[in-house]
Amino acid sequence: MTTAATIPSAATGREDPEILCDNLVRIFKSEGVEVVALQGLDLTVRQGELIAVVGASGSGKSTLLNILSGLDIPSAGVARVAGSDLLAMSSRDRVTYRRETVGFLFQQATANLLPYLTASENIEMPMALARMPKGERRDRSRELLELLGIPQVADRPLAAMSGGQQQRVALAVALANEPRVLLADEPTGELDHQSSEEVFAAIERANATYGTTVVVVTHDPLVSEHVQRTVGIRDGRTSSEVLRRTAIDEHGGESVIAEEYAVLDRAGRLQLPREFTTTLEMKDRVRLDLESDHIGVWPDRPGREAGDE
């Protein structure tokens, strides 16, 4: 594996991202004990991008998603989504933000759905609350079911659907009022392989059709086939990014190339992959060596000069 460093575009100021987290900090205090769940997290997501966020249990993924969804307020830093400042927002603006700007998809499809209504009735519910005319609601509901590959369940109650179909109805509910950003928390956590594949494909189709910016928090390795960028979180910070692109060889064949990058934050901090540091027995401190086109990082072994390894 090769590793390269990338400076988040937030730091370069080159674009106006749909999601911007800069030096985001969230400290939880309970019974005199402080837990730093996010410790200076940087994340930039372009408008219309579909990204996955991965990380070990306790790394801060849910904390990040709760902040982006307007449920939780960060302790410090910058969090901006679709032009809304999530630290400075009034509680009334927060309600409007949650209703109009972001859509949510949870691990349990039923968290977004009313069991005694049909798929269409569920999808039309948020549109009715937003006072959309009845005819438009019906058209939009039909369009969403078609796009997500489940037109046949329109008049079925939830109990008569598979788990994968229910999750796609929940996705249609989340997209009903055309949110700019979709946040999904382990959307395939309770599904089998085939249904997970269908749900990720549906998310990808919605992203491509409506240009919705999507952040999917997941442990599911299947997600890598559906996103161009996977952001890794470690100890409350973004630590790595895997970018995927399609390359065409000289015979016209297509192959997907995945490159792993380490994130370099504004303070110049870089998290070295654990497998690299373990292999070279690096700990506590390392030697650095500036070359004309790269920086060498060497284990601190007494009596050896940097570059002697």
For ligand ATP, the binding residues (CB under 6 A) are 28, 30, 35, 37, 55, 57-63
Smallest gap from Cβ 194 to ligand ATP, in A, equals 24
Q: Closest CB to ligand ATP among 153 and 183?
A: 183
Tokens (6 digits) for 241 = 């990014």
Q: With contact defined as beta carbons under 8 Å apart, do 49 and 229 qualify?
A: yes
CB of 140 to ligand ATP, least distance (A): 33
- Cα–Cα distance, 83 to 81 (Å, whole number): 5
Q: Nearer Cβ to ligand ATP, position 150 or 223?
A: 223
Minimum distance between the CB of residue 90 and ligand ATP, rounded to whole angstroms?
Answer: 23
3-class secondary structure per residue, the chain = CCCEEECCHHHHCCCCCCEEEEEEEEEEEECCEEEEEEEEEEEEECCCCEEEEECCCCCCHHHHHHHHCCCCCCCEEEEEECCEECCCCCHHHHHHHHHHHEEEECCCHHHHCCCCCEHHHHHHHHHHHCCCCHHHHHHHHHHHHHHCCCHHHCCCEHHHCCHHHHHHHHHHHHHCCCCCEEEEECCCCCCCHHHHHHHHHHHHHHHHHHCCEEEEECCCHHHHHCCCEEEEEECCEEEEEEEEEEEECCCCCEEEEEEEEEEECCCCCECCCHHHHHHCCCECEEEEEECCCCEEEEECCCCCCCCCC
Judged by beta carbon, residue 33 or residue 290, the one nearer ligand ATP is: 33
In the bound state with ligand ATP, the residue whose beta carbon lies nearer, of 61 and 226, is 61
For ligand ATP, give the closer residue by CB, 59 or 101. 59
Q: Of 53 and 173, which has the nearer Cβ to ligand ATP?
A: 53
Length of the chain: 309
In angstroms, give the least distance from the CB of 61 to ligand ATP.
Answer: 4
Least distance in angstroms from the C-beta of 69 to ligand ATP:
13
Decide whether 20 or 67 has the Cβ nearer to ligand ATP: 67
Tell the smallest beta-carbon distance from residue 126 to ligand ATP (Å): 26
Return the closest-CA partner of residue 20 out of 87, 75, 71: 87
Residues 150, 183 contacting (CB under 8 angstroms): no
> To the nearest whole angstrom, how small is the minimum distance from the Cβ of residue 241 to ligand ATP?
17
- In angstroms, what is the minimal distance from the CB of 30 to ligand ATP? 5
Alpha carbons 20 and 42: distance in angstroms, whole number: 8
Closer residue to ligand ATP in complex, CB, 81/123: 81
